[in-house]
Amino acid sequence: MKTLKLIIAAMLVAITITVNAGNLPSDWRELALDAVKARLRDPSSVQMLQVVDIPRYSDRSSDPDWWCVTVLCNAKNGFGGYTGPITWFVYFRRNGHVDAYEVGPM
């Protein structure tokens, strides 16, 4: 019985988060990859570009209502060499903006 109550409580929390989460575009994967490519020096040199997690929602009071997804990318840097996998955070803002920020090596 306790297990059933825990499952129901978890489902209600998941439903609440989804309802309050704002708008996440249905093509969020493509938008995230395009946002990272747009920030690269040489987008045609991409060897690896992949989304590595599901979108996370935040409702922090300092910067409310955004989704964040992590992307890994390996492309050429300004010296013409490949960087290795670099982590990027892509944010989907409430106002429709999609921003990509390089975090650094894996």
Name, in order, each residue with C-beta under 8 angstroms of 66's C-beta and a sequence gap of 6 or more: 22, 57, 58, 91, 92, 93, 94
The whole-model pTM stands at: 0.73
Write out the chain's pLDDT in tens, 106 residues. 556 555 565 555 554 444 444 678 889 999 999 999 999 999 999 999 999 988 998 776 666 678 999 999 999 988 999 989 999 999 998 888 899 999 988 7
Name, in order, each residue with C-beta under 8 angstroms of 104's C-beta and a sequence gap of 6 or more: 86, 87
